[in-house]
Structure 1
Amino acid sequence: MGTPGGMTFVYLQDKTEYVVDPNGTNPPLRYTKSVNTYDAAYGNLLLTRLTSEAAPTTPYRTIKRVYYPRNDGTTYIVNRVAEEKLFAGSESGTCQGQTRTIYDDYSGYAAYNQAPRNGQLKEVWQAGQGGAACDANWVRLVAYDYDPWGNRRSETAANGSVVTTAFDNTFHAYAMSVTVQPDSQLGGATLTTTYTRYGMNATAGGSGLVGQVQSETDANGAVTLYTYDAFGRLTEVRRPGAGFGNPATEQIVYTTDQGLYVQRHLLRDDGNGDASASATYLEERTFYDGLGRVRQVQKEYSSSQWSLVSQRYDGLGSLAAASAPYTSTVSGVTYRAVNWSGLAATQSTSDRLGRINQVTQPDGSKTCTFYQNRQTAVIREQSTIQGNDITYRYLQALAETDAWGRLLSVKEYLGQVGSGTATCPTPAWNANANGVTTYAYDIADRLVQMTGPDGAVTTITYDLLGRKMSMNDPDMGAWSYTYDMAGNLLTQTDARNVTIGFGYDGLNRLTQKWQSGSSSGMVLADYSYDASDGATQFGKGRRTGMRAYVGGEVNNSASWTYDKRGRVTAETHTIDGDAYTVGYTYDSADRVLRVVYPTQSAETVNVAYTAQGLPGRMYSSVDYVRSGNAVYDEAGRLTQLKLGKQSNNNNPVVQMAFTYHPWTASGGLGRLQQVKAGTSANASSLQDLTYGYDTAGNVRWIVDARNNGQRQCFSYDGLDRLLSGFTGDAICAGYDDGTGSWVYDESYSYNNAGNLISKTGQGTYGYGVAQASTCPEGALVKRHAVVSTSNGSSYCYDQNGNMRRRTIGGNTYTLTYDDENRLVSISGAATASFVYDADGNRVKSVMNGETVTAIGNLYEKKVVGGATTHTKYYYFNGQRVAVRVAGVLSWLLRDHLGSTTVTANGASGERTAELWYKPWGENRGTPYQTTPTTYRFTGQREDASIGLYFYNARYYDPALGRFTQADTLIPNAGNPQNLNRYSYVGNPTHRFR
């Protein structure tokens, strides 16, 4: 291409990217091609047309750029893009995106055609807000201003908030302060962060190169200090509260060993939060090779042992093996040589394109990936183990992508692939699938349609800025959305035609929710921020309060107090005029040291930690877990937990033991093998459960030694969905009705969309037909909502997919929801009402004559007939281990799902209650006595009087095996089973909570 001066330059005219068989035996499988057009005067890229082998001569999309060069003899700025448009097809197609860029002292989207004077980016505009076409509904996304040295000193966001940066007066290169100033009409605190820098305005202490940050002071006056070595690498961090005269909160030490680069990270472990106390540190060492790849990680395990994870790579640089955690004695900062032949490790092989071919787990189970044209086949193992015998079973799923790498379809299969040997079989590319799910996209690569395996279609529309404008779903119905200039959601209108409006402050923080979509509507909730007194409350930039409204009046509220590090020190909930405060203190590693329960049942529970940094002791005036009574293995798994202390000796009241399958045992892979609990006199007097798995991780059997050795057996289909659960013989070959109490024999089936279509006790399920015209909302159709079962139950739903009425055994329950789709009342065969806070947490329930006020998961107040009972819960290492009701302590034992099974007396350890469950959460048989907590199946709250479990966001019916409301979130759209919004955890009930 020629230039005005007669020179020529080489430019990229077109580029074709091929995907080929790595063995080179096939022609290209697919390709994409971009063809570029430039202007002759300056060589600016004007057009990029993108095609693929699907339509080689017709562009799929085109990007068009416009420039307004300045070449006036004094200024030569010719390469600044003024406008960019995205078109469907060629540049004469429909515009699907438009951005304009304004330079220097010009302003407004119409000024894009002004030639720049010095080329500084001033404003960025986009067209098409709210569903409008190109050249309309412009939004200024950002505006910038500069100082005389060219530094960007201010940035104004779409909502009018301004971020201002002040630079040093010497080099004019380093930020000395950053201030966030909200728009005055929207409100919000002004937040300023200031810096001191070495070689400039640093105070005494620390070291670093010129310009490196010595201190950072946030809007709350909290100061974080930094120290560096001679190479400018960070070596110390002191969090707020620790000065240069105190031990560092974190240390990073750099060294080498055996040709490897070593980074030691040490986290201060003071155990009491005292910044001036002598310091010990939790250390983690990471060893890197010369290419910057992690070769080994060492973590403290005990006084003489370290927990190690090692990795190695193949000749192409792909990860070839990663070990399971193992222990080793390490003297000094030393890389430990690895004997891979004797080490449990996950091994991977890749093809010459770097794509994964096979992953082999330490237990020998395999996942293999094959590639053909645009299809990818994943073959995974679901083999079963009986003694030393393995019955190999491999299952496949196929995914297809388009030329742009977007997922087009997923095919799911139920049947076995191959002949059942230890080797991965080749895919059955042309086999008939159990279900096919397809996906469609717009020109900007946004997902616009999903068609499930049962033909159910979900559609989504966007504006040109990429904001979701509408959704039409077979279960949730049609929803629509609007946004403000900054992209914050302004209104949401659901399928019931209920509109909720949202308000924000100048920092884009949610401040209010209204009914009917405008500030003139009834208030549903409001939120406040930035409360601070500089002494005990450091809330600037943080949420400090919220209120929930019912009927336009404040119903309940919450507030938070923070320390300088931003950690919550007090959380207060006010419900029915009573305030309940939970307090927290922390150590230097930000771990909770103390929890102070509400004064209504005051207690301070302390936590201490082990050498691994894990919880090791929990106590108040009562020793819940004594020092040394919590033991973990090298993988951080709990292996021993002793609860309480007997009054006449140092023995625990209850002791628990957890063992795990070896990493290399078939189906083991470090999974939980046995849970035992009992007293000092009999270590398994309370619980003795043993688990067996297939190689996919599904629980295949559970043996309850205390229930006469009863064995529960489970089978699964090719999508890991539970097919049967029964009490069986020693090899799960058939039903056994004579071993242990509460025998059962159930089977389940599904359609290709994950609908449970039959279940023992319920019969067959009816879907996809109109519900009864007598339902509250009439004869609606919800694709994945159960309308009836052959045992005589029937169900009704509203337009959003919320269950509105359920008739079971002749008893009818009517369910009512608020504007935010939260269940607020039940009437009919049972009555109940529920109250939620502004975050949607349930804080009050009235059922069966009981009024329960709940403060998180720590405390409850129950009022029955004027009598008040206080309940407190105790958690260790994230697990609920005890409950105290009216001053009486009970230990809570759990199974692999976290379900409460056995309750033991807090003083004697004797069994006081026990529950058994069926696979979907129904009670199995008659409970032994009354369990003193309603946290039961999977650790969730049972509302027994209405036959539902509360799973925090939704309610679950264990008899039906379905949720009562459509899930508003699809966790993984690429997994077709996730598209079923009512299914319980994808239907493998013994694998996930």
Structure 2
Amino acid sequence: MRIDQLTRRLSYNLGGHLTQVEETGYGEKGERPQRSTYFERDSIGRLLARLNDDARQDFEYNDSDRLLSIQRKPTDSGRKLGVTAEKLEFAYDILGRLTKEASPQGALAYDYDTLGNLTTLTLPTGQHLNHLYYGSGHLHQLNLDGQLISDMERDDLHREIYRTQGKLTSCFGYDAVGRKAWQYATTLPAEKLSQIQNPLIKPERYVEHAYNSIHRRYEYDLAGELSRTLDKLRGEVSYEYEANGRLLEQNPKKRFEGEAFRYDAPGNRLNFNTSRFDHVKDNRLREWRNHEYKYDAWGNLIEKIVGIVRWQTFTYDSENRLVKTETMANSQVETTSSYQYDSLGRRVGKQSNIKGQTDQKHFLWQGLRMLREESPEQSSLYLYEPGSYAPLARVDQREGEDKNKVYYYHTDQIGTPLEMTDAEGQIVWQAKYAPWGLIKQLVVNEVEQNLRFQGQYFDVETGLHYNTFRYYDPEIGRFITQDPIRLSGGDN
């Protein structure tokens, strides 16, 4: 039983393999709905089928027990929620490495070198995203059919110190324990930088004379928490923490811009100076400033009311995935939206209507990273830092145009985009954030840019951040549904 009274009963076969999950929810008025998920297995315990109220999924394997396909067939109730029939297919080489994956959104093909590094990713368009490596196996270059995206230079510890970003070169420095200590962008090429940098000159001096507003420094306390940032655009900001690492205060050098936070024992944020709410019952936040929240029997947010003028409703499928939303403003429908997911739980489509303007997007994934975003007018290819969700570049292709446009991300020490520049080095997007990921100010907004914290995508129709398996509300710094892997997901 969870803290919010939701109960889960698990059944196993004689081999000890899970065959059924029975859940009983707990609603705001004491209602106790039930639902079940069934698992069919073969004689050696492999999952052959998964069934719930919305769909049946069938799994196929090769002789090496590697997954070959997942085929989904929706139920009548699933179709009403937007669940569609689909098939995902996978192929492998003799070493068991993934060589091809196919979905209704397109097919990807993979080629590797003798060390197992991905060398070429073939896109559904037939384009080739090529990866070049040092002998050590660390990434040195990305190019798209020979078009240079970025070159990386590394130090003796294989840490990235230079990165070409169009006409800019971004430079990075580290402290004694390997944390990012400073970064800046300059119009000087990497080979010139290596010639002029003097080891007797403190690196922060280079930061002070960097190009435009893309330069910053980071300082950390003894516990390893970020204690101070210095940024040309954002100024100086200091941070204080509780003993357990929770953020207590954010203090910009400018007066009257600081924020303080307090929490209950499990880590839920509380209204400051409000004694009525000294804890969050059942881990379901019900009030925050002028916001009110309501939940269904499974702990999913179903209503968000802001003051007396704004009301949002949320609808979910049987796997607690958000499938529909509606936003009312001043008693009028302002936005509606619907979302679709594949058999691996990745969002592959969304449709929204915002004040009468329709928007439709489809998404292609490489593993759990969003690779490609398509709308009727444009497609965008997203490229990331190696082994990370921190974005590196974006390649846009407008419908009817032969030439693409490359944009470059400039992130902070945790991979959050702060700026985006074009190939000429001009800032086309720049933002200031609140501590929990909400954008306080779009300083430059010439190009739409929806990436936020690593792995998050901003949905303008709801104000939420899509985070692969659930949605995050940056206003309050929490997710709107329970973690699907429960306590294995870590602390709140």
Fold-level similarity (TM above 0.5): yes
Given the superposition, is the C-alpha separation of residues 543 and 939 from structure 1 closer, same or farther in structure 2, using an over 3 Å criterion?
A: closer
Q: 1:556 to 1:931 in 2, by over 3 A?
A: farther
Q: 2:159 pairs with 616, 637, 647, which one? A: 637
- Of 677, 680, 684, the residue aligned with 2:188 is 680
C-alpha change, 1:559 and 1:915, in structure 2 (3 Å) is same
Cα deviation for residue 904 of structure 1 reads 0.8
> SS at 1:853's partner residue?
strand
Instruction: Tell me if 1:798 matches 2:296.
Output: yes
Q: 1:567–1:755: structure 2 CA closer, same or farther, 3 Å change rule? A: same
In 2: Cα distance, 1:883 partner to 1:670 partner: 27
User: Is 1:852 aligned to residue 361 of structure 2?
Assistant: yes
| Residues 429 and 442, structure 2, Cα contact 8 Å, conserved in 1 | no
Instruction: After TM superposition, list the pairs within 5 Å mapping 1:892-903 onto structure 2.
Output: 892-903=409-420
Equivalent residues of 1:690, 1:702 under 8 A apart: yes
Say if 2:89 is the partner of 1:559: yes
Percent identity, aligned pairs only? 24
One of 571, 593, 599 as aligned partner of 2:119: 593
Distance in 1 (CA, whole Å) between partners of 2:313 and 2:481 is 14
Corresponding residue to 1:882 among 377, 393, 399: 393
Is 2:319 aligned against 1:820?
A: yes
Q: Classify the secondary structure of the residue corresponding to 1:613.
A: coil
* TM-score with structure 2 setting the length: 0.82
Aligned-partner residue type, residue 862 of structure 1: S
Counterpart CA distance in 2 for 1:574 and 1:592 is: 23
Identify which of 262, 273, 278 aligns with 1:749. 262
Distance 1:851 1:765, change over 3 A: farther
Map of 1:100-499 to 2, 5 A cutoff? Answer: 472-475=1-4, 477-496=6-25, 497-499=34-36
Residues 526-545 of structure 1: pairs in structure 2 closer than 5 A: 526-530=58-62, 540-545=64-69
Given that 1:660 and 1:673 are in contact with CA atoms closer than 8 Å, whether structure 2 keeps it comes out as: yes
* 1:813 to partner: Cα distance: 1.3
Q: Report the Cα distance in structure 2 between the residues aligned to 1:587 and 1:916, rounded to whole angstroms.
A: 41
TM-superposed CA distance for 1:679, in Å, is: 2.4
Q: 1:787 to 1:909 in 2, by over 3 A?
A: same
**Quick one: distance in 2 between partners of 1:925 and 1:843?**
29
Figure out how many residues of one structure are paired with residues of the other and give that number.
435
Secondary structure of residue in 2 paired with 1:758: coil
- Displacement of 1:875 in angstroms is 2.8
- Output one character per residue of 1:678-704: Cα deviation in whole Å (capped at 9) or x when no partner: 323885325101011101011111111
2:246 match = 721
Alpha-carbon spacing, 1:677–1:796, altered in 2? closer, same or farther (3 Å): same
C-alpha separation in 2, matches of 1:562 and 1:891: 33
1:563/1:674 CA distance change after superposition, 3 Å: same
Change (3 A) 1:855 1:512: same
Partner of 1:93: none
* Offset, 1:631: 2.1
What is the CA-CA distance between 1:633 and the residue it aligns to?
2.8
For 1:654 and 1:764, locate their aligned partners in 2 and report how far apart those are by CA, in whole Å: 52
How far apart, CA to CA, are the structure 2 residues paired with 1:817 and 1:792? 25
**Partner of residue 46, structure 2:** 509
Cα distance in 1 for partners of 2:278, 2:73 equals 37
| Partner secondary structure for residue 783 of structure 1 | helix
Distance 1:705 1:484 in 2: 62
Instruction: Provide the residue aligned with 1:670 in structure 2.
Output: 178
**In the alignment, does 2:104 pair up with 1:574?**
yes
Q: Distance between the aligned counterparts of 1:861 and 1:591, measured in 2?
A: 28
* Residue pair 1:583, 1:596 contacting (<8 A) in 2 also: yes
Q: Answer whether contact 2:10 2:22 (CA < 8 A) is retained.
A: yes
**1:745-797 deviations in Å (ceiling 9; x for gaps):** 2111112221211369xx7884768xxxxxxxxxxxx52111112x3211111
Match of 2:221 among 691, 694, 718: 694
1:679–1:685 contact (8 Å) kept in structure 2: no
Q: Assess, with a 3 A threshold, how the Cα gap between structure 1 residues 815 and 544 changes in structure 2: closer, same or farther.
A: same
Query: Which residue matches 1:204?
Result: none
Q: Please point out which of 536, 547, 563 is paired with 2:71.
A: 547
Aligned counterpart, 1:623: 148
Quote how far apart the aligned CAs of 1:840 are.
1.1
Larger Rg belongs to: 1
Q: Is the partner of 1:753 in helix, strand or coil?
A: coil
Q: Residue by residue, what CA displacement relative to the aligned partner does 1:575-604 show, whole Å, maximum 9, x if unpaired?
A: 5xxxx11111001111100011112xx420
Contact 2:349–2:363 under 8 Å retained in 1: yes
1:934 and 2:450 equivalent? yes
- Alpha carbon RMSD of aligned pairs, Å? 2.4
Residue 559 of structure 1 aligns to a residue whose secondary structure is strand
1:120 alignment counterpart: none
- Summarize deviations over 1:188-234 as a string: whole Å, max 9, x none: xxxxxxxxxxxxxxxxxxxxxxxxxxxxxxxxxxxxxxxxxxxxxxx
The Cα of 1:931 is off from its aligned counterpart by 4.3
Rounded to whole Å, the distance in 2 between the matches of 1:768 and 1:910 is: 47
2:255 matched to which residue of 1? 736
| Structure 2 CA distance for partners of 1:476 and 1:933, relative to 1, 3 Å | farther
Note the C-alpha offset of 1:953. 1.8
TM-aligned CA distance change 1:527 to 1:622, over 3 Å: same
Q: Secondary structure at the match of 2:360?
A: strand
Once the two structures are TM-superposed, the CA of residue 570 in structure 1 deviates from its matched residue by 1.3
Structure 1 residues 551 and 658: CA distance shift in structure 2, 3 A: same
Higher RCO (Cα < 8 Å, 6 or more apart): 2
Q: For 1:904, which of 398, 413, 421 is the aligned residue?
A: 421
Any stretches of 5+ residues in structure 1 without a counterpart? 1-471, 517-521, 531-538, 645-652, 664-668, 729-734, 738-743, 770-781, 984-993
Q: Judge conservation of contact 1:767–1:787 (CA < 8 Å) in 2.
A: no
Give the Cα–Cα distance (whole angstroms) in 2 for the partners of residues 962 and 876 of structure 1: 26
Deviation at 1:540, TM superposition (A): 4.8
Aligned AA (1:596): T
| 1:872 aligned onto 2:381 | yes
Structure 2 counterpart of 1:788, from 268, 272, 287: 287
Note the residue ranges of structure 2 that are not aligned, 5 or more in a row.
26-33, 190-208, 329-334, 399-403
Q: How far 1:922 sits from its partner (Å)?
A: 0.9
Q: Deviations 1:938-967 (Å, cap 9, x if unpaired)? A: 351111220111111221111012111122
Deviation string 1:525-574 (CA, Å, 9 cap, x unpaired) is 222222xxxxxxxx753111113344357433311121111111111111
Shift in CA distance, 634/672, structure 1 to aligned 2, threshold 3 Å? same
Distance 1:654 1:555, change over 3 A: farther
Aligned mates of 2:22, 2:459 — CA distance in 1: 30
Residue pair 2:115, 2:137 contacting (<8 A) in 1 also: no
Q: Distance in 2 between the 1:860 and 1:656 partners?
A: 26
Aligned residue for 2:238, secondary structure, equals: strand
